Amino acid sequence: MKIGELADITGITKRTIDYYTNLGLLKAERSTSNYRYYTSEAIERIHVIEDRKAQGMCLNDIKKSIEKEEMQYEEIDLQEIRLQMRMLQSEVSSLVEKMNQQEKSKKDSIKQNVSSESVALMQTLLLLIT
């Protein structure tokens, strides 16, 4: 949405939104015609900023607290990704072990029923987890 739309939705002036953007409190994408576009997340961010201002926080402290929260979310996401990768590695290892225990005819049959896309995906997964 454009800055005017964001201003209408939030009740904050375009000048304030521009100021928050210049401070780095809000993020906007620029179009080829140099218009700023905001995502729906900007609405929530403005509510957070205004709530914290009402609690007496200065904009610099608000920015620091938001950055700290974002770092914590990134760390949680990274931990979740690592956990998922370990689980995938375990599953892939288990599948490889089961495949190796099969007779040659069964292995060939399994290989014929696996699509090339699946093989490519498995190879990519093996590269990621090793």
Q: Tally the C-alpha atoms within 13 A of residue 4's C-alpha that lie toward its C-beta.
A: 1
Q: Find, among 74, 31, 67, 28, the residue nearest to 48 by Cα.
A: 67
- pLDDT tens-digit readout, 11-39: 999 999 999 999 999 999 998 988 899 99
pLDDT for residue 20 = 96
Q: Is the pLDDT of residue 130 over 70?
A: no
- Which CATH architecture is the domain 1-57 placed in? Orthogonal Bundle (1.10)
pTM of the model: 0.56
100-128: per-residue pLDDT in tens? 777 777 777 777 777 777 777 777 877 77
Q: With CA atoms as reference, report the closest residue to 2 among 38, 55, 27.
A: 38
Tokens for 103, please give them. Answer: 């007779």
Instruction: List the domain boundaries for the chain.
Output: 1-57, 75-130
